[in-house]
Amino acid sequence: MQLKRIKIVYILLMVLPLIAVAAALGTMPDQIPAHFGLSGVVNRYGSKYEALIFPIVTLAFGILIIVMGRITSKVKKFGESNEKMTLLVGLICLLFMDLMNFYFLFIEITGMKSIYGGGASGIKLIFGAMGVMCIVFGAVMPRTKMNSTFGLRTKWSMKDEETWKRSQKFGGITFAVAGALMIFVSIVTEGKYCLLWSMYILIAVSVLDIAYSFIIANYKFEHKDDGDRLQ
Tell me how far apart the terminal alpha carbons of the chain are, to the nearest angstrom: 44
Please provide the DSSP assignment of 83-136 as one string. Answer: HHHHHHHHHHHHHHHHHHHHHHHHHHHHT-SBSSSS---HHHHHHHHHHHHHHH
Answer left, alpha or beta for residue 40, where phi above 0 means left and psi between -120 and 50 means alpha: left
pLDDT tens track for 119-162: 445 667 778 888 988 998 888 888 887 876 678 888 888 888 88
Query: For 41, which DSSP code?
Result: B
pLDDT tens track for 160-215: 888 999 999 999 999 999 999 999 998 898 777 888 899 999 999 999 999 999 99
pTM recorded for the entire structure = 0.64
Domain boundaries, the chain: 1-118, 120-231
pLDDT tens track for 38-57: 666 778 888 999 999 999 99
